[in-house]
Amino acid sequence: MKLENRKQKVAPLPHFLFRLGRYGIFALGLIVFSVLLGVLGYHHFGQISWIDSFHMACMILTGMGPVAEMTTPTAKIFSSMYALYSGVAFLSITAVFFAPIIHRLLHILHVHQDNDENERFSAP
């Protein structure tokens, strides 16, 4: 997923929206994978129902905290590892989703800055 470099023009709006959709779908895939990983782990190791596993995985993934107590050592280890994974995953998914937006804003600012410098240094 290549983005424009500083010497290229800003991508047209339809191209940008298509890119934003691709990045959004990729971010959604990461969310689905992360929640599925948590649901399966909490159901298997924590011995809690599917709906409670889903609730727990979603709460941990978004940083809200646990809602069910893990009683066995393996459940506690899984819960700890999933919490560490979730912290990194949440930040990474956010970065993936916002990357095209931030890139476009910075690219627009850079293009405007280059135009201002060219006007300032050009001969009248």
Q: pLDDT per residue over 46-102, tens digit each? A: 999 999 999 999 999 998 988 999 999 999 999 999 999 999 999 999 999 998 888
Instruction: Flag whether 122 is in a domain.
Output: no
Instruction: Flag whether 3 is in a domain.
Output: no
Instruction: Flag whether 123 is in a domain.
Output: no
Burial category of 41 from C-beta neighbours within 10 Å (exposed 0-12, middle 13-18, buried 19 and up):
buried
Average pLDDT value for the chain: 87
Q: In CATH, what number is assigned to the domain containing residue 20? A: 1.10.287
Instruction: Flag whether 69 is in a domain.
Output: yes
Instruction: Flag whether 61 is in a domain.
Output: yes
The count of structural domains within the chain is 1
Contact 79, 46 (CB under 8 A): yes
Taking alpha carbons only, the member of 89, 105, 84, 96 closest to residue 34 is 89
- Collect contacts of 42-45 with beta carbons under 8 A, ≥24 apart: 42/68, 42/75, 42/78, 42/79, 42/82, 45/70, 45/72, 45/74, 45/75, 45/77, 45/78, 45/79
Instruction: Flag whether 77 is in a domain.
Output: yes
Instruction: Flag whether 23 is in a domain.
Output: yes
Note the pTM of the prediction, 2 decimals: 0.78
Domain residue limits at 112:
13-117
Lowest mean pLDDT among 21-35, 81-95, 97-111: 97-111
Instruction: Flag whether 2 is in a domain.
Output: no
